[in-house]
Every structure is written in C-alpha cells, then in structure tokens.
Structure 1
Amino acid sequence: MDAPSSSSSSSPTNSIQPYSSPSTQRLSLLHGPSDPPLVDLTLGELLQLQTYQYGTKECIVIPWTGARWTYHDLNQQSSALAQSLLDMGIGVGDRVGIMAGNCEQYAAVFFAVAKIGAILVILNNTYTATEAMYGLTFSDCKVFFVTRTIGRTNNAPLLQNLKNEASPIKVVILRGEGDEYPTYDELVKAGSRQNHDRLYRVMSKVLPHQVVNLQFTSGTTGLPKAAMLTHHNLVNNSRFIGDRMRLTHEDVLCCPPPLFHCFGLVLGLLAIVTHGGKIVYPAEVFDIPATLRAISDEDCTAVHGVPAMFDSLFQAEPPANFKCDRLRTGIIAGAPVPRYLMELLVNRFGMTEFTSSYGLTEASPTCFNAFTDDAMTRRLTTVGTLMPHAQAKIVDRDGNIVPIGTRGELCMAGYQLQAGYWNNSEKTNEVMVRDAAGVLWLHTGDEAVFDEDGYCTITGRFKDIIIRGGENIYPLEIEERLMAHPSISRAIVVGLKNKHYGEVVGAFVELADNAKKLSDQEVRDWVRKTLGNHKAPAHVFWLGQDGVPADVPLTGSGKIRKFEMAKLGDEILSKMAKTSKL
C-alpha cells in the first residue's frame, strides 16, 4: 500500500473545487479529491497484507525497550495475543481497555483487539485513578492492559481501585512482572502454542465498518464523550495522511506523540503501516534527549509533533555527533505554528517538506492537510486542503453556508466521520446533523475560513476548548472541580496564551463568604487530586482582589463572555511581566 507517485502530490487546486451557483458568490463548500479510491479493509487484513509484502522489514523500533520488530513480528505477536483474548472469552464488540506509554506491546494490543472484532478503549496517560476508573466502567471494559508505571506516574492507586470493584475487570500487566496478574508475555506465549484456525475464522467475519476504537474526546467527569471509530475510518484516513507526506517503504518516522492520541496512533503508526515504512517511538513519554538521539541514530526521514515539542527540541543541546541529514518531512499539528518555529524546522532540521494539518478525533482524525510542495506561506498560515473523499463547509450560526472568505463554523462530511459517541445519543445528535439532501455533517465547533483555492485557515473556536501543547482540555470539568472546594463559590476557566504550550489553563475564582483565601499552589493541588496535572491552573486570579475586577462580562442572555475573560487574563499577565522587568 505504498503512496501513489505523482498523482498524490499534484496541486490540490485541480481537484478541490468550491461550490458556486451561477448567480451568487462562491460558497464555502468543498469536495475533496476522489482519487485514490477508498479501500474496504479491516485493520487485521491491512497488517496481514503488509506482512506478506514487507515481512522481514523493520516496522517498529522502540529505543527505550530495545525492541526492533519486523512486520512479521508485529503480525505474529498480535495474532498470538488475539488467540489468548478469544480464550478469555473476548468476542465481537467487547471492550478492551489500555493505558500505557509508547511501547511495542501497545501496537500489538491494538491489532490483536482489531483482529477479533473487539473494541479498544484508549485511556489518556494523564488520567488519575478516578478518571481512568470512570472511563473503564463507562465503556464496560472486560479486560484492561496497563503498566504499573507510566514515566514518573505510579499506577498503584488505579490497580488498588480495580481490586475493589464489585465486578472486577480482568487486568493484564503490559510490561514487567505481573505478580497476582497475568502478563502480556504470558498471554502471547500461551496464544502462540495454539492452532489459529479459530482465530482465522473469527477474523474472516470482522467487517470494515465495525467499530474498533473508542477515543475519549472530553473529560471523564460530567457527560463523557467517547468517539466510536471504525476500521474503515482508520485504514483510509491513515492512507491519505501518508500520501500527503509522500511516505514510502523507505521512510523512517520518529513519533514522540503518544499512542493514546490519534496523532501517535493514526498519523503515526497506521500512516507508516499503510505505506510499509518504519516508525520509531523514542521513549515511553515525551523525552527530549531520547527524541534527538532517535532522529540521529535511526536516520529518520520524518518527525511528528506539536509546536511545544519542537520548541523543546530546538532549545535543547543536541547529542554528540547528532545528524539529521535525511529529515525531510513530518506533521506539525495541534496548535498554530509560529513563524520562528517554521524557520527552525527548515534551517535546523532540514524539514523543507513539513506539513501542517487539522483534524479532530470524531473525524478519524485528519480533515485538512498540506502537501509537501505547498508554498511555505501556505503551510505556515493554513492547515492545507481537504483530504480525499471528504466534504467540508463553513456555516453561520443559523446553519447557512457562508461565502468564500467569510468565517464560520467548520463542518465535515464523508467516510471518516465517527459512528457516534458511545452511549450518548444526545451528544451525537447535537454534533452530527443531516441536511435537506440527506448528507450527514459533523459540526466541529471550530471557526474557520476557506480561500479561493480551497485552503483552510482555523481562526478560532466556537467551543471553549483549551489546547495545551496539542492536548485538548475542557474547562467545564475543571470549573466543577474548583467549585467543589468550600473556599470557592465561582470558577471560570479559560485558555491563556503561552509561548511554549500555545495555551495554558487560567482560572478566575471567587472567594466564598467567610472563607480563607487559598494559595495558588493549594488551588492546583485541589484540582490534581482528581484531574490530570496538565489540567491544574497555571494562573489563578481571584475576582475582586489584587486588581482583578469583581464583575464578570456577560452576554444579553446572561452567559459569560469567556473570550473577554481570556483577554483580561492575558492583559494581567502581560502587566505582571513588564513590572517584573523594572
């Protein structure tokens, strides 16, 4: 499944045409290229096909574990594990959870679950024990693959909580000693001893349009949202991603983004597998020296990352004898790319063919992606053009398609849309709406604008999501946690500008009557007790104190004007920075 040659890198303006009526201005309605055609493959079939073609070629390299798996190794390990999962009673549609850092076993679990028609529930590594338990019980997982530690995080509290469950989830230790739990190695060993005839019969009945993956797109307190993604979604989206990068079987991709995110899983692992290349996951969690060593030692041709990751790499001292002469491409996504960073990508790393990208989990994920030969200004200021077999439109608040050049909400249609949110028809129906012609549209909540050539620029968000280093953070769950403290009567959480992360969490809080004011650190510690570290406020402002206004700006209907609150926070921080320099 190598990327097509010349046809895949042709100018997008020849194939992406904005709609225009004979008598009116051109409208913001785009249709992606119809080439290459969609394929109907399951993930298990994909891996088998690539194993036939590239069996002895290296597929996954994990420097921190020493693993160097070929396509044959990945196929063999995942099949043996799939056999053991069948023996454990896991079948079509059953949920299997995973929470671990980047490692070779993670990839094997992903394909093993896919081969038997089960659904992999992917949990964010930053989840606390409370958040992880909610995700597991909400999705009704039967088996849970987990490591005892992830980086510096100890999962002992989570394992203890799992022991106390009335209906215990079967825990499998992914790496290391299992003690009272079975291990990944034991399951693979047991599965490899058996005849796989039953597995092959099960695999033959798995269909491309079945759900294979649940990806949480919101916090797991309040109303959870877990996007249901199919084999068809992931196989085709990853093919088209690799095509835009001009990947071939000779490419080596360094992928610091985590496997629990679509960036590391789909834009990383699957984009490589569909093109017969090799992927390198430098460390369990993002590690600057390990990433630089991997780029050099593995002669990588591509690197993925969010702007904050690249910023950290460029600030660090490269290892001795560092070389990156083969680097040419990679995807930088998750947040806008500053010009200085683009210049460093080209001048320091030689990534003249880097591409910008836009996507969301509910769209499997990539919707727009630049071509490697797009003008540098296009790749800096836009997220490229529409992906094959997709449709996109921009609408106003009444749902009307706006003219080209006008901002509005970006909506997507096509093969890549999620099957819906798991056990949440209300939220599904809110964001997925059929038009009069019967086309199903996903409302992204993001504000965008199209130009005359079909390039898309993301200009803001209809939603209030905070994007910190490429990770989505939802203010509501932080606000609810803050207001659970007896000293806080009101909380408003916004995203504040940050040079390194793009945005960080800022919290405006109101002191409860007769309560003692908390220190900023006490506020952060309170949030971290139940939510991930990255969700703790970097900046805390007390309403009516220390020069912060007591009144909150409201709309006519009484809703908080969050964009004004964010602007206020940025202004306060700017004044503080200027004062500290005096």
Structure 2
Amino acid sequence: MSAEELLTQDFGTLADVIREQAKALDDKPALIDARRTLTYAGLDATMDRIAAALQRDGMAVAEVAAICASSSVEYGATFFGILRAGAVVAPLAPSSTPQSLVGQLKDCGAKVFFLDHPVAQAMAGVMDQVAAKRVALDGSDAGMAFEDWLAPKGARPAPVTVDPDQGFNIIYSSGTTGAPKGIVQPHRMRWGQIRRGVYPPTSVTLISTPLYSNTTLVSYLPTISNGGTVVLMPKFDAEQFLKLSEQHRVTHAMLVPVQYRRLMERPDFDSYDLSAFQMKFSTSAPFAAALKADILNRWPGGLIEYYGMTEGGGSCGLLAHEHPDKLHTVGRPLPGHDMRLIDEDGKEVPQGEIGEVVGRSGAMMVGYHNQPGKTSEAEWWSPDGLRFIRTGDVGRFDADGFLTLMDRKKDMIISGGFNIYPSDLEAELTRHEAVLEAAVVGVPSDAWGETPVAFVALKPGAGVGADELKAWLNGKVGKTQRLADLQLIDALPRSHIGKVMKREMRDAYKGPATMA
C-alpha cells in the first residue's frame, strides 16, 4: 500500500507512512539543517537503527523516550525512530530549569534521554538525579555518542502494534502557573492532523520554532508524512529565515506572531525573493489584525491562522487571504470540530454573547499524564454526554460564525464588579504611534478588588513618557477601564513560542515605578 493510500485509511501510523514514502521517494531530501541533508531513504534507515537500538536497550511499546536539544537532523530522525519502536516521545524544552527537567523526566518515566552539550551543561548540577540512559545527539560528552549508540547499519526493529489511543507524544506545558503538566496526545489525534492535506508533496517547510512545541509539530509531521522537505533552524533569526527561504525556495512556514512582526519590521524584507511561498501559518498567541494585513499585502502566498490548544479539542482556522474583512477574528471552527461557549455555571450562552470557549473533535488529548484531577478540570461535558476540552479563553461568535477572542479567562480583570478585558486596552494602546507592544494585567486593589496596570514597550526612538501615555489611554476608554499605572519596559517577556508571560509581570509588580 502506498503512502497516499495509507493516508486515506481511518487509522495508521506515521512510522509506516514514512516507510512507504521512502520506497517511493528514495533520495529526495527529507530533513535539512546547516550541516547535512537526510534523504527519505536515509531517514527510513536511520529510524530503523534508532528503533532497533531502543529495543536492544529494553524499550517496550508505550514506554517513553525523552529528547531535549536544539533542532537538528538527528533530533528530527530520533523523534520518528522512537515512534517506530512503538514508544512515546517526550520532547522537553531546553529553556526549562534543570530541576524542572528532572521532574519531567521522572514524571514521564523516560527510559532513554537524548540531549546535547548545552543541555548537559545546564543540568550538570542535577544530572545525578537522572535515571534514564543518556545519548548525545551532537556526539558530545553529554552521553553516549549518537553514532556509537545506534544499532548497526541495516538493522531492522521488531514489528510493533500501536493502539490508536496509545500515547504518540507527551508535551509539557510551560509551567507558568505551577508545575508543568504532561499533555498526552494519542496516535489517533496525530493521525487526524497529518491527513489534513494542507502540505502537498512539493512542500518545502522551514521550521524555525522548536521541535518540542506543538506549534512546530503540527507543521513538521504533515510535511514529512506527505513527502515534503523540512528545513530545520536551531534558533529563529529573522535575517537567516529570509535567506533560507530564498535559498531553498521555501513554500510553507509556521510562525508565531512575534516572529512575523520581527520579519515585517526589517527594512530589507522586500528585497528577498519569497515568491515560492504558497501558504504561511500562525498560532499560539494573539495575532494583530494590522500585522495580518501587512503580511497579506507584502508576502506572497496565503495566510492561515489556527486557534486551538495543545490539549486538542476544537480548533478554528482563519483563511486570512479569503476573508480580509475578518482579520480581527481567529476564524471559524474547522470541519468536524464542535466549538461552543459556556458561562460560569457551565451552561451554553446564546449566539452573540460572551462565554468560555470549549471544543471537541477527533484531535483530543488522552489527559494530563499522572494527573487525573487536572484532566477532569480541563473537561466540560455537554448535556448529551459529549466530552469537550475547556480552553480557558473568553470569546464571542459573530453572525457569520467567526470567533473573536477577548482574553484568557484567568486574565480577565474584575474591577468594582465590572469585567475588563485586557485585550481591549492593549488594542487601544497599540494604536498610539509610539507604542510597539503592550500588555495589561490585573493587580490587587483595596478599593476595587482588581485594577488594570499596563506594561508598554516603545518603538525605537519614541519619546513619549509613561504618565503622558497613561493619560492618553485613560482619555479614550471608559471610566471603569482606566489604568491605575503604566510602566515602560524594554520588551514584553515571552515564552519560547511567543506567548506573553503575564503572570511574570503581575508577580513582579510591586506598585508605581517598580519596573520602570
């Protein structure tokens, strides 16, 4: 059965699809980084050697292997090789604290830990707490060298059978509100994603976000499953992204909004040949309508914004190039996705009213690893017994079925009994000619319960003062929305995929002038 035929089946495995692609594509480049290119035949053979080595080391079906390293051909192949062994991949973020990484390795029960030298250096003080066998993807002294660890050339693993509901990967949340939670995504969920058909066999996808992020995997996995080529960047750099796009005639890319902003701000952006682009994608963070419009105007190819969660559930898609009048929204629910809005009591709200977004589809997590209580908190059950995943986001559907997001539910500010949506204030602040970006958080207030405080990064050379900007904003919003304080900072703190770390700002705020 060909890869194309296999992808039409109700269920299959990505490892089997790659095997069939390798038979048909042979020496076509599958993975490219700055050092080397791995063809489909080479990828398939390397996956066999990885899977055989894992089985040699006692790895059983549904056990876990973890990876924590910069993106590389070796990383990309190892991800797939773990799957071929029937094991579960736990891609971990090198930006995590050493103690957090130890906790994640223990939580997932990793039997083998793939890492590189920088991660080993960062974890030097806690490495004695790591029980997993260590393999150095970069050949360093971080563990047994990857090439030495691999099974011999020509090795083939024992066949395995994978249940659709078995874990495909475990992705750990950022942990900004406590210990990271392991989100178990099953094979069934990933199978549905790689069959969407968004990436044709001619795709050349540039990956500039880390491979431990779901944002990346929803682009990386279907490119390979459909026979395309992936170009891997170990770290995002705007100039390098543009050079690689031109060099490799890149057709597809998944970027987070802050990356788009940095690219579009470059004075030399229009000098690069980006004519090969067919489609660009974005997810993970709020995407300003003005920035979407600029991309549509100056960057060839379409633009699709996805809204959803790593936990799965319902997702929306905005085909921005087809709906330029809906750029303020995150689009409509994808086919087969059921999305609803509920109130504080868990009851659905009427069309046009604001509520928390919940959703269900064929792409849903099994749950949080070893945390049934947290899993239950993330679920909403409809009156007819259907399981939905709660997003924690507040939004409203318009008459055309497009979803406009207000804020994270936990970020909504209740001041004197009035609901204040930070996104409203942030949007108004960014209309000021001097403002680059802004974030508004709620801080405790004896008089009002909570009150809004803004943190603002100015454009280079801007001369407006904090008090002047605060007065300007307060003159434009309602009385209940007025800022109690506004502080200027160099840049908003962000996670590895561009999400603004509001908790970090809220926790650091001690009163007027503390962060100026």
Q: What TM-score, normalized to structure 1?
A: 0.69
2:365 counterpart residue number: 418
**Range that drifts further, 416-425 or 389-398:** 389-398
1:169 aligns with 2:169: no
Residues 339/50 of structure 1: CA separation in 2 closer, same or farther (3 Å cut) = same
* Shift in alpha-carbon separation, 1:318–1:178, aligned structure 2, 3 A: farther
Q: CA deviation at 1:2?
A: 9.3
Distance 2:231 2:147 in 1: 22
Q: C-alpha separation between the residues in 2 aligned to 1:538 and 1:399?
A: 30
Corresponding residue for 2:354? 407
Name 1:157's counterpart in structure 2: 122
Contact 1:115 1:206 in 2 (8 A): no
CA-CA distance at 1:226 after TM superposition: 0.9
Matches within 5 A, 1:440-455: 440-455=387-402
Structure 1 position 424, deviation (Å): 0.2
Deviation at 1:402, TM superposition (A): 1.4
Cα distance, 1:83–1:160 mapped onto 2, change above 3 Å: farther
Which residue identity lines up with residue 184 of structure 1 in the other structure? F
Report the aligned-residue RMSD: 3.8
Q: Could you say which residue in structure 2 is the equivalent of 1:115?
A: 84
Task: Name the aligned partner's letter for residue 229 of structure 2.
Answer: K
Provide the secondary structure at the position in 1 that maps to 2:135: strand
1:377 is matched with 325
Deviation, 1:38, is 7.0
- Specify whether residues 37 and 112 from structure 1 end up closer, same or farther in structure 2 by C-alpha distance, changes over 3 A only: closer
Q: Does structure 1 retain, via aligned residues, the 8 Å contact 2:177–2:503?
A: no
Alignment check: 8 A CA contact 1:251 1:302 kept: yes
| Structure 2 residue 163 is the aligned partner of structure 1 residue 212 | no
The CA distance in 2 between the partners of 1:363 and 1:498, in whole Å, is: 33
Amino acid at match of 1:292: L
Name the residue aligned to 2:345: 398
> Relative to 1, partners in 2 of residues 1:382 and 1:238: Cα closer, same or farther, differing over 3 Å?
farther
In the alignment, the residues of structure 1 paired with residue 88 and residue 17 of structure 2 have an alpha-carbon distance, to the nearest angstrom, of 17
Please tell me whether residue 258 in structure 1 is matched to residue 210 in structure 2: yes
What's the offset of the Cα at 1:377?
2.3
For the pair 1:295 / 2:245, whether they are aligned, the reply is yes
CA distance in 1, matches of 2:288, 2:405: 14
The CA distance in 1 between the partners of 2:154 and 2:453, in whole Å, is 54
Instruction: Give the secondary structure class of the aligned counterpart of 2:211.
Output: coil
**Aligned residue in 2 for 1:507:** none
Report the residue type matching 2:312 in the other structure: A
AA aligned to 2:133 is K
List per-residue Cα deviations over 1:155-201 (Å, max 9, x = no partner).
41314422x22x6221111113337x21222233x24253x2xx242
Among 354, 357, 379, the residue aligned to 1:432: 379
Structure 1 contact 235–270 (Cα < 8 Å) conserved? no
Residue correspondence of structure 1 range 421-570 to structure 2 within 5 A: 421-464=368-411, 496=455, 537=504, 543=510, 546=513
1:3–1:248: 8 Å Cα contact kept in structure 2?
no
State which of 206, 212, 221 in structure 2 corresponds to 1:270: 221
SS at match of 2:134: strand
What are the superposed Cα offsets for residues 218-251 of structure 1, whole Å, 9 maximum, x if unpaired? Answer: 41884431110011111212332x43xxx31122
- C-alpha separation between the residues in 2 aligned to 1:493 and 1:332? 29
2:326 is the counterpart of 1:357: no
Matched with 1:43 is 14
Partner Cα distance (2:98, 2:454) in 1: 25
Alpha-carbon separation, structure 1, partners of 2:169 and 2:452: 30
- Partner of residue 565, structure 1: none
Bigger mean CA offset, 109-118 vs 447-456: 447-456
State the shift of 1:428 in Å. 0.6
Task: Compute the displacement of 1:260 (Å).
Answer: 0.9
Find the counterpart in structure 2 of residue 147 from structure 1.
116
User: What is the distance in 2 between the residues matched to 1:496 and 1:47?
Assistant: 47
Superposed CA offset, 1:441-492 (max 9, x none): 111111122223332222211134999xxxxx9x9xxxxxxxxxxxxxxxx9
C-alpha distance 540-215 of structure 1, shift in aligned 2 (>3 A): closer
Distance 1:499 1:359 in 2: 30
CA gap 1:297/1:137 in 2 versus in 1, 3 angstroms = same
Q: Is the 8 A contact 2:358 2:380 kept in 1?
A: no
Distance change >3 Å, CA 544–CA 345, structure 1 → 2:
closer
Aligned twin of 1:28: none
> Which residue of structure 2 lines up, in the alignment, with residue 187 of structure 1?
149
RCO higher in structure (CA 8 A, sep ≥6): 1
Query: Is 1:347 aligned to 2:297, yes or no?
Result: yes
Q: 1:56 and 2:27 equivalent?
A: yes
Matched, 1:368 2:321: no
Q: How does 1:18-37 map to 2 (within 5 A)?
A: none
Distance 1:53-1:449 versus aligned 2 partners, 3 A rule: farther
- Rounded Cα–Cα distance in structure 2 between residues aligned with 1:534 and 1:392: 26
- Conservation of the 8 A alpha-carbon contact between 1:131 and 1:220: no
Unaligned runs of 5+ in 1: 5-35, 468-472, 476-491, 501-519, 549-572, 577-582
- 2-side partners of 1:360 and 1:287: how far apart? 26
One-letter identity of the residue aligned with 1:448: G
Corresponding pairs, count: 450
Q: Residue 37 of structure 1: CA displacement?
A: 7.4
- Aligned residue number for residue 101 of structure 1: 70
1: CA distance, partners of 2:454 / 2:61: 41
Q: Assess if the C-alpha contact under 8 Å between 1:358 and 1:369 holds in 2.
A: yes
Q: CA deviation at 1:207?
A: 2.2
Distance 1:545 1:207, change over 3 A: closer
Contact 1:464 1:494 in 2 (8 A): no
Distance 1:499 1:406 in 2: 34
Query: C-alpha distance in 1, partners of 2:81/2:395?
Result: 38
